[in-house]
Structure 1
Amino acid sequence: MDLPWGKNLVGSFYQPKAVFIDPELLKTLDKRFLHDGLAEVIKYGCIRDESIFRELMSYEDDEELLDNIEKIIYTCCNIKKKVVESDEKDLGERMILNFGHTLGHAVEEYFNYSKYTHGEAVAIGMAEITRRSEELNITKIGTHNFIEKILMKYGLPYKRIEMDKEKILHTIKLDKKSSGENINLILLNKIGEGFIKKVSIREIENYI
């Protein structure tokens, strides 16, 4: 559940008995919301499977994308299934599914959930944290540009936006991945290789 202080701060764990997905429904979506969902697809490519990037970059248009959407859905669901099964309570590896979300959730909250969709905010979060991690020599040079290129292709925001840094830092400190004086950030070695880095709350501004 979302609280006034941020997203996903209260919840419990129940595993589904089944997952039903109707790909035909995606054809009824406004272009903005179709691409909004692709931000999460791009996230899976970033953290676990570079081939997702190659697939998305190869499509000529949304029609070709939708012709191949079942394969994309299966790939992403399979990645999530493996990660969740290995860490049901979100105490370790499962945090990797939150790549781009630490800053993304802060962006959503900052603009009162009205200016950016969830996927758009996550897109900004993925691009910005990778830009910073490259500058800190953590991520392979060129990774940020690769992410920008695919976000641009699908009309998702990627440019740094002006926000009050203190307000953003305050929201991030309430993130569900924070613990005491530390927060677990999701970073990339390169496309397809995400990892969890424990960072002091005092250092967090170096990453945003």
Structure 2
Amino acid sequence: MAQLDVETSVNKYPIHILENIRHQFNQYVSKDYSAIFIVTDERVANLYLEDVKESLASHPKVFHTVIPAGEQSKSIEAYYQLQTQAIEYGLDRQSLIIALGGGVVGDLAGFVAATFMRGIDYIQAPTTILAHDSSVGGKVAINHALGKNLIGNFYPPVAVIYDIQTLQSLPAKEIRSGYAEIVKEALIADKELFEDVMQEKLNQVTNASLRDHIFRGIKIKTHFVQEDEKEKGIRAFLNFGHTLGHALESEYGYGTLTHGEAVAIGMLFAMDVSNAVFSNCLPVETLRKWLNLNSYPLVLDEINSEKLLSRMKSDKKVSNNHVQMVLLKEIGNPVLVELNDEDIQKHLENFINKMMKN
């Protein structure tokens, strides 16, 4: 079994990475909780909910709820409904929430845990590649119509229980989405990992390679989280590709592009801007060819730079009404750069023109 530990200001929690660990869930629930509330979505429920419930059969009060799959569930309405169910089920401050699913479930259920009775324990049980990133670090949130993850908190789980076997059921779109975050982690911290991933064709990736890439990605995420828990400094580097990525998700409508597909486009943009700002030669075309090879949607149509700039300026990473972007001086050397509206507009127009010709 692979295990990493994350030190935070309020706790230390383990990340367990193992095949079929969902069948031994009871071994990793360390406290005698008054009740356990499993939150999952309709796709994951059909595959893995009963396995987790059976593993927790010795606990007298285990409840569950199933939310619609997709980014649309990270809404104030879904959040309020889960709070209502938690109250109706009799959860109290000694209860536990389990987020069984991908990033949407983890963000939503984690935010419910962070705010129910001013905060109760929760466990992240990711079932997607993408969630290897979102389940670590304690960032929990829901979306607003004007921007992604604008309503949220920093609230670490008590454990991350990652069953790698669940990844075998992922559709191609979710594999693409998850690997975009691994590429992000590689670009900001590990050139060798980037080069390794660029050799992979995602519809042929082996379980051994997948486990290795996920473990290395989580290790990178853990480093940045431990160094900067509340995103006051270097943790912001984990937002590489997200400035435009979040804007695209919001502009096209949540769920049109997966989070990772939007971030993939955002990384291309960030690398283009990096090359322009620092006069360097980042491997933009290497990444673009790999994304094309693996069927990422890269053509930007029916969109304009003014709308995107407006979306980017509503992002929580804006400072003094200026867009802050994570750029790369080189692979493994990220920096945070503040850009004015005129420069961003020019970069966006050039980039959109390139992508429309893609």
Normalization by structure 2: what TM-score? 0.54
Q: Give a deviation string over 1:180-206, Cα, whole Å, max 9, x none.
A: 232321111123322211223453324
CA–CA distance in structure 2, aligned partners of residues 173 and 64 of structure 1: 37
**8 Å contact 1:173–1:201 — kept in the other structure?**
no
- Aligned position for 2:22: none
**2:237 aligned to which of 83, 96, 100:** 96
Whether 1:108 and 2:249 are equivalent positions in the alignment is yes
Specify the alignment match of 2:293 in structure 1. 153
Change (3 A) 1:157 1:66: farther
Shift of 1:98: 0.7
1:95-136 deviations in whole A, cap 9, x for unaligned? 1111111101111111112421111111111112212332x2
Q: Which moved more, 1:20-29 or 1:140-149?
A: 140-149
| C-alpha distance in 1 between matches for 2:202 and 2:256 | 26
Query: Is 1:175 matched with 2:315?
Result: yes
1:203 has 2:354 as partner? no
Q: How far apart are 1:15 and its partner, in Å?
A: 1.7
Could you say which residue in structure 1 is the equivalent of 2:171?
A: 30
For 1:139 and 1:25, the matched residues in 2 are separated by 43
Instruction: Give 1:49's aligned amino acid.
Output: D
Secondary structure of the equivalent of 1:115?
coil
Question: CA RMSD for the aligned pairs?
Answer: 2.0
Is 1:87–1:93's contact at 8 Å kept on the other side of the alignment?
A: yes
1:190 to 330, 349, 352: 330
Determine which structure has the larger helix proportion and give its number: 1
Label 1:117 to 1:170 Cα distance change in 2 as closer, same or farther (>3 A).
same
Q: Which residue is equivalent to 2:278?
A: 138
2:61 aligned partner: none
* C-alpha distance 114-19 of structure 1, shift in aligned 2 (>3 A): closer
Q: Report the equivalent of 2:7.
A: none
Q: Is the 8 A contact 1:189 1:195 kept in 2?
A: yes
1:6 CA displacement? 0.7
184, 188, 191: which one aligns with 1:50 = 191
CA distance, structure 2, for counterparts of residue 161 and residue 142 of structure 1: 25
Aligned-residue sequence identity (percent) comes to 34
Counterpart residue number, 2:138: none
2: CA distance, partners of 1:104 / 1:184: 13
Tell me how far apart the structure 2 counterparts of residues 71 and 126 of structure 1 sit (CA, whole Å): 22
SS at match of 2:324: strand
Runs ≥4 in structure 1, deviation > 4 angstroms? 159-162
How far apart, CA to CA, are the structure 1 residues paired with 2:325 and 2:333?
14
1:178 and 1:88 mapped to 2: Cα distance? Answer: 19
Q: Greater Rg, structure 1 or structure 2? A: 2
Aligned match of 1:129: 270
Q: Give the conservation status (yes or no) of the 8 Å contact 2:143–2:150.
A: yes
How far has the Cα of 1:93 moved from its partner?
Answer: 0.8
Q: How many residues align?
A: 207
Partner Cα distance (2:200, 2:262) in 1? 24
Q: CA contact under 8 A between 1:104 and 1:123: conserved in structure 2?
A: yes
1:139–1:195 Cα change, 3 Å:
farther
Gaps of 5+ in 2: 1-141, 349-358
Q: Which runs of 5+ in 1 are unaligned?
A: none
Moved more, 50-59 or 88-97: 50-59
1:17 and 2:158 are equivalent in the alignment? yes
Q: Does 1:119 align with 2:278?
A: no
Q: TM-score, normalised by structure 1?
A: 0.90
